[in-house]
């Protein structure tokens, strides 16, 4: 990754139903210098989803082919479907001097942490206010049947155990507030980066005097 520019890898993970998709969309709207990494998936497209916007929907075979060609930074299996983040999004954002946002699970986050420096990553784990609220949101979404809701709920409980691996853990009570918190944290990291740069230049001058 180019160290001259301040592009960060922003990771947002949360159990499904915690409001992550709305949150990511709002964040992108609010921060013009953040690009969303569109993942590839082998799962079926839902009615309201658009190919190339929500995901790149591909067959399992196509996904496996791309994986073999080292097309992905990371891949994971969720609910028997394959998901993967392509490398090309990072290159593009880096070139444009923009941050890149990954809406991925804890397994993907772990893989990215392994391959990039700590200060290139800002990772967030978003929790729902309570288990009851999570269930309510999953039901409200009206997408899954009872059995699937229970499956997602128990998966969510498992997933939540990984919150300690993240730099920031936020409880998503009101999505606008959560978005503002995330924005402030990203800006804080930017500020630190610039301050460090200025300090380094000053130090060089002092040392070389």
**What is the smallest separation between the CB atom of 118 and ligand 5GP, expressed in angstroms?**
19
Residue nearer to ligand 5GP on the CB measure, 19 or 84: 84
Least distance CB 105 / ligand 5GP (angstroms): 4
Nearer to ligand 5GP, 107 or 183 (CB): 107
> Cβ of residue 152: shortest distance to ligand 5GP, in angstroms?
8
User: Which residue's CB is nearer to ligand 5GP, number 163 or number 193?
Assistant: 163
Output the smallest distance, CB 100 to ligand 5GP, in A.
12
Closest approach of ligand 5GP to the CB of residue 128, in Å: 13
Q: Please give the residue whose beta carbon sits closest to ligand 5GP in the complex.
A: 108
List residues near ligand 5GP by CB under 6 A.
16, 39, 43, 74, 76, 78, 83-85, 103-105, 107-108
Label the pairing between strands 81-86 and 9-13: unpaired
Q: Which one, 7 or 16, has the nearer CB to ligand 5GP?
A: 16
Nearer to ligand 5GP, 137 or 193 (CB): 137
HSE toward the beta carbon, residue 62, CA cutoff 13 A: 9
């Amino acid at each position: 990754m180019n160290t001259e520019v301040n592009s960060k890898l922003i990771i947002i993970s949360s159990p499904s139903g915690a409001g992550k998709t709305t949150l990511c969309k709002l964040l992108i709207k609010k921060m013009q210098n953040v690009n969303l990494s569109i993942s590839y998936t082998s799962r079926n497209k839902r009615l309201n989803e658009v190919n190339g916007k929500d995901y790149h929907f591909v067959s399992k075979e196509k996904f496996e082919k791309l994986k073999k060609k080292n097309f992905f930074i990371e891949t994971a299996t969720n609910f028997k479907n394959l998901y993967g983040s392509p490398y090309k999004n990072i290159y593009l954002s880096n070139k444009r001097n923009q941050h890149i946002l990954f809406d991925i699970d804890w397994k993907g986050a772990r893989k990215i942490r392994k391959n990039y420096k700590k200060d290139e990553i800002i990772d967030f784990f978003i929790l729902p206010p309570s288990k009851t609220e999570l269930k309510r949101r999953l039901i409200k979404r009206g997408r899954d049947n009872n059995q699937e809701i229970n499956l997602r709920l128990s998966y969510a409980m498992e997933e939540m155990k990984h919150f300690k691996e993240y730099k920031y853990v936020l409880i998503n009570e009101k999505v606008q507030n959560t978005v503002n918190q995330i924005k402030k944290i990203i800006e804080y990291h930017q500020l630190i980066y610039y301050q460090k740069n200025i300090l380094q230049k000053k130090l060089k001058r002092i040392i070389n005097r």
